[in-house]
Chains A and B, each alone.
Chain A
Amino acid sequence: MKDHAYLFEGLTLKRVLLVSLLCVFAATAIVWFFKNTWLDLLVSALCVGYTSMVFFTMATNLRQRRVPPWVAQVASIILGSFVGTVLAGVVKGRDFGSMFTERLFGVLITMSLGIGFGCWAVWIYYNREREAKVAAELARARAERSELEKNVLQARLALMQAQVEPHFLFNTLANVQHLVEVDPPSASRMLESLIQYLRAALPRMREDTTTVGRETDMAKAFLDIHRMRMGSRLDYVVEVPEALRCRPFPPMMLITLVENAVIHGVDPCCEAGTITIRASEEGGKLRFSVSDTGRGISPKKGTGVGLVNIRERLKALYGTGARLVMEENVPRGVVATIEVDVSSPVAAPAPVAAPTAQAA
């Protein structure tokens, strides 16, 4: 029995009360048209009502896919009305046989009334269900939107906090400190690169968008510093067409990829490595990529906060119009590409600006 308990799910006290109320209403509404007493009609109505209610509940819960649920439900009302009418006759002590002969007319009327009121009740039920569904959908859409807003805010916050790494800064200054003594021209060059990098890195945190060109220059300054520091171990190539330099692009994403390429790609493998920054436009997509010839990604190595942050920010800024793709480089290393649909609205944090829910 326990296995079939699910068939009666939804058969709540509330439902029983509602059906009872409906029966009282039905009996009252039709008492003027019949010779029967109100009590007599109420007994019939309750028999039909309860039977139909139970059958309807079972039909709703039935796990079947042969017919659409509403067909099963209507059938359950018809069947329920019939069984209920017979039951009413039995309750009132009527002769079972006569119900299908001289009393057939009365039985049919009771059944039809049962079906009529039953369908009306089902109609009410459906409307309420649909309202509940719409309300749930609306709540879900609202939750989704607030989630998105939260992501946008978090991404912004992370961007604000993405400061120049102190380790990088102090190590570079230590290099400059030494070069000032032993090789002043180099010291000056390194300082210049550091200034260029800082100038790009510091104010940019508060902007929503910058350009491909500015991001490239910043990455170049960063790589210049690392090239001097790492000696012959690091080399870099920049292939960014002049025409693409003025394209808008979100800040601090390229530099994160370049940092990863240096710190997780070239630096750990102790030979020399090359980093290539490439921008291209093809098929309505702007691609900005950083490839290295470093040691590559091992399958169990962490994916890093930086990449997760880029993904979140791309989602917040472009929705599905942008993605970060990671690939293996040939013969080794990693290529990280940020791909943005050129047609997509550029770097406007739209979800916050558009407060209307779609489901409404």
Chain B
Amino acid sequence: MEAPTAVIADDEPLLRSQLRLRLSRLWPELVVVHEMENGRDIEQVIAAHQPRLFFLDIHMPGVNGLEAARVVGKRAHVVFVTAFDQYAVEAFEQGAIDYVLKPFNEERLATTVERLKERLAGGTAAGGASGNSHMEDLIEQLASRLAPRNGEHLRWIKASVGQSVRLIPVEEVLFFQSDEKYTRVVTAEGETLIRKPIKELLDELDPDRFWQVHRATIVNVDAIASVRRGLKDQAEIALKGHRETLIVSRNFTHLFKQM
């Protein structure tokens, strides 16, 4: 019977060599054919080495362990390695997925090795639990929890202030107002000009948080102190911590009708 082969992926070099050392003691026949810093290029690694086992650290920059496991799919058996994640560990227990905890416990690692030997001997190249779709669901679920996807909405405004580029979190912005060629970005602490037009901002900002109240104005809903009727069919917005009042033009007064 040919020797079982494994790949270790962990972003910390010391922890890679530690796992390698421990495995060599507990499972001398196992050949670690490759080491990786993260889950990138996993296709090439599979093509080049055709390993039967993958030890994947969950938290890795770039491509993390869960994403890597998805790429591996049924082509090899996956063992997750994690330092601390109660949620993941519970999920692994329930899904009968193999995992190892850092720092390593000699006994616990030995048990895992025994189980892995059985799995590999069982001939299921895809490896017991990892073969079913349940595991894929689980990984999906964990992955979405691990890396909350970057929202579709604008979170930072980049504005030149003197020589530097200021990064302003959108929640600090009281309102945006077009000023001929530029757009004013007004915060409680001051204001700057950006080139992005109101129209573009409107597409990118979170519509629940930022409302257009005028052809030229977008206001942060959280910054509104009060709204009162103004001249004709307009309304006026008073802001928290700012003197200026904003005009709500007739087309947008319906936003405040129930208030």
Chain A positions near chain B (C-beta within 8 angstroms): 6, 63, 65, 166-167, 169-171, 173-179, 181-182, 228-231, 267-270, 297-303, 307-308, 320, 323, 325-328, 334-335
Q: Cβ of A327: which chain B residues have Cβ within 8 Å of it?
A: 161, 164-167
Q: A178-B15, A182-B21 are in contact. List 4 more A-B contacts (CB 8 A).
A: A170-B103, A299-B158, A300-B155, A301-B150
* Pairwise interchain contact A297-B231, C-beta atoms closer than 8 A: no
* Pairwise interchain contact A300-B151, C-beta atoms closer than 8 A: yes
- Does any Cβ of A come within 8 Å of B207's Cβ? no
Nearest chain-A residue to B13 (Cβ)? Answer: A231
CB distance from B133 to the nearest CB of A (A): 29
Known: A167-B83, A327-B164. A303 touches B102 (CB 8 A): no
* Pairwise interchain contact B167-A302, C-beta atoms closer than 8 A: no
- Does any Cβ of A come within 8 Å of B182's Cβ? no
- Does any Cβ of A come within 8 Å of B154's Cβ? yes
- Set B15, B84, B164: member contacting A167, Cβ < 8 A: B84
CB distance from A240 to the nearest CB of B (A): 21
Over the window 70-87 of chain B, the binary record of Cβ atoms lying under 8 Å from chain A Cβ atoms (1 yes, 0 no) is 000000000000011100
- Does any Cβ of A come within 8 Å of B3's Cβ? no
A327 to B171, CA, bound (A): 16
* Pairwise interchain contact A166-B84, C-beta atoms closer than 8 A: yes
Known: A170-B83, A182-B21. A297 touches B62 (CB 8 A): no
Nearest chain-B residue to A9 (Cβ)? Answer: B229
Over the window 225-246 of chain B, the binary record of Cβ atoms lying under 8 Å from chain A Cβ atoms (1 yes, 0 no) is 0000111100000000000000
A166 to B15, CA, bound (A): 17
- Does any Cβ of A come within 8 Å of B180's Cβ? no
- Does any Cβ of A come within 8 Å of B90's Cβ? no
A142 to B32, CA, bound (A): 67
* Pairwise interchain contact B158-A328, C-beta atoms closer than 8 A: yes
Nearest chain-B residue to A269 (Cβ)? Answer: B61
Q: Cβ of A229: which chain B residues have Cβ within 8 Å of it?
A: 12, 14
* Pairwise interchain contact A173-B155, C-beta atoms closer than 8 A: no
CB distance from B231 to the nearest CB of A (A): 5
Q: Cβ of A302: which chain B residues have Cβ within 8 Å of it?
A: 148, 150-151, 155
- Does any Cβ of A come within 8 Å of B104's Cβ? yes
- Does any Cβ of A come within 8 Å of B156's Cβ? yes
- Does any Cβ of A come within 8 Å of B199's Cβ? no
- Set A63, A177, A268, A308: member contacting B62, Cβ < 8 A: A268
Q: Cβ of B204: which chain A residues have Cβ within 8 Å of it?
A: 300
A63 to B84, CA, bound (A): 65
Nearest chain-B residue to A190 (Cβ)? Answer: B14
A234 to B155, CA, bound (A): 28
* Pairwise interchain contact A297-B14, C-beta atoms closer than 8 A: no
Q: Cβ of B18: which chain A residues have Cβ within 8 Å of it?
A: 174-175, 177-178
Over the window 128-162 of chain B, the binary record of Cβ atoms lying under 8 Å from chain A Cβ atoms (1 yes, 0 no) is 00000000000000000000101111111110010
A354 to B142, CA, bound (A): 47
A323 to B166, CA, bound (A): 13
Q: Cβ of A303: which chain B residues have Cβ within 8 Å of it?
A: 155-156, 169, 171
Q: Cβ of A299: which chain B residues have Cβ within 8 Å of it?
A: 154-158
- Set B11, B14, B153, B171: member contacting A178, Cβ < 8 A: B14
A308 to B172, CA, bound (A): 10
A298 to B12, CA, bound (A): 25
Query: Looking at A169, A269, A328, which has the most chain B CB atoms within 10 Å of its CB?
Result: A328
- Set A270, A298, A301: member contacting B37, Cβ < 8 A: A270
CB distance from A100 to the nearest CB of B (A): 39
Q: Cβ of B151: which chain A residues have Cβ within 8 Å of it?
A: 300, 302
A323 to B187, CA, bound (A): 12
CB distance from B62 to the nearest CB of A (A): 6
Q: Cβ of A325: which chain B residues have Cβ within 8 Å of it?
A: 166
Q: Which of chain B's residues 13-30 have a Cβ closer than 8 Å to chain A? A: 13-15, 17-18, 21
A230 to B155, CA, bound (A): 30
A6 to B174, CA, bound (A): 31
Q: Cβ of A231: which chain B residues have Cβ within 8 Å of it?
A: 12-13
